[in-house]
Amino acid sequence: MPAIKHFITLNDGTQVPWLAFGTGTVHYRRDATPVVELALNNGITHLDGAQAYANEESIGAGIKAAGKPRSELYIVTKLNEHTPVKDVRTSLLSSLQKLGVDYVDLFLIHSPHGHNSQGTLPALWKEMEEIKKDGLAKSIGVSNFRVEDLNIVLENAQIKPAVNQIEFHPYVWKAIKPVVELCKEQGIIVASYGGRSSIARLPGGPVDEVLETIRARVEKTHGQPVSAGQILTKWILQKNAIVVMTTTKESRIKEFIDAENVPDLTTEEINAIEDSGSQIHKRIFMRHVFGE
């Protein structure tokens, strides 16, 4: 059974498996029990959920079905973006009950939407800090936060966010680069989602030819088959970012895990991916947060 070998260290000293199985998108509002069990039985230990996905009970059921001890798992959930500040703790306690655990390893604010316009981000982050202090979440962070949202939190934080989870693929690279740079400067790890969107959802764009050239070179170096998806995953991993993936297929889970064994991309190849991706801008998710 493949196993994750690479871990990323957060600014609070905890370590995260670089690859997470996400239970949104195709699993949104669906029973995720079988796919969570499948992921766990194939070597995934990092599960990425959210209150908004409306399937936390099935994540818990999948964990139970796989029979994995809690100590071997890294479990993430996210605060629904419409949750009032006063209800943050109650909402997490509800999530813990659904997941069948006493704590989550990482609790994220799903997006700043609403709270930034209402001026409640500082109060919201204070609630997150209290949750960490009380041990309900080992680490706390944010998701879909722009530079201005991060700055509001950082100006008022006693505890810095450990993670900012954002859409991350070549066709948003130019837009997210300032966020990525701020996170690096502040010691915040970026978690990526939608990493294969340029080939899975937006095929035929300028990045395709670049990926094929790189894929052929890496495959020759590796001496084993390499996919374009693995090249994109490797590009993200070489940014020291967490990769959140999702699928319904066992073969795809194994392909993602094996991406860490693919030879590193060269600086020139990384630049080529970013230059080609920057020719167009295509955001797939959470467009309302960015006014798109």
> Active-site residues: which are they?
53
Q: How many CB atoms lie within 10 A of CB 217?
A: 16
110 is in an annotated binding site: yes
Joined together, the tokens standing for residue 214 give: 């790189």
Among 98, 95, 75, smallest CA distance to 20 is for: 75
Q: Which residue has tokens 């630049």?
A: 271
Q: How far apart are CA 234 and CA 228, in angstroms?
A: 10
Q: How far apart are CA 251 and CA 255, in angstroms?
A: 6
Q: Confirm if 32 and 266 have CB atoms less than 8 A apart.
A: no
Taking the mean position of all CA atoms in its chain, how far away is CA 190? 8
Q: Confirm if 20 and 245 have CB atoms less than 8 A apart.
A: yes
| Strands annotated E in the chain | 7-9, 15-17, 19-22, 46-48, 74-79, 104-109, 137-143, 163-167, 189-193, 242-245
Q: How far apart are CA 148 and CA 192, in angstroms?
A: 19
**Amino acid at site 277:** G
Which residues contribute to the annotated binding site for substrate? 110
